[in-house]
Amino acid sequence: MILHTINKLSALALCRDLISEGDKVVLLEDGVYLGLQPLPFATLAIRVDVEARGLSGRLTKQTESIEYSEFVDLCTRADKVCSWF
Q: Kindly list the distances between the CA atom of residue 71 and the CA atoms of 13, 17, 23, 85, in Å, as whole numbers in the listed order.
A: 23, 23, 14, 17
What pLDDT score was predicted for residue 68? 96
Band of pLDDT at residue 76, cut at 50, 70 and 90: very high
The pLDDT assigned to 69 comes to 97
Whether the Cβ atoms of residue 51 and residue 30 lie closer than 8 Å to each other: no
Question: Alpha carbon of 40 to those of 12, 69, 73: distances in Å?
Answer: 11, 26, 24
Q: Where are the domains of the chain?
A: 2-84
pTM surpassing 0.85? Answer: yes
The tens digit of pLDDT for each residue in 22-71 reads: 999 999 999 999 999 999 999 999 999 999 999 999 999 999 999 999 99
Pick the CATH number of 2-84 from 3.40.1260.10, 3.30.1380.10, 3.90.1150.10, 3.40.50.970: 3.40.1260.10
User: How many residues are recorded in the chain?
Assistant: 85
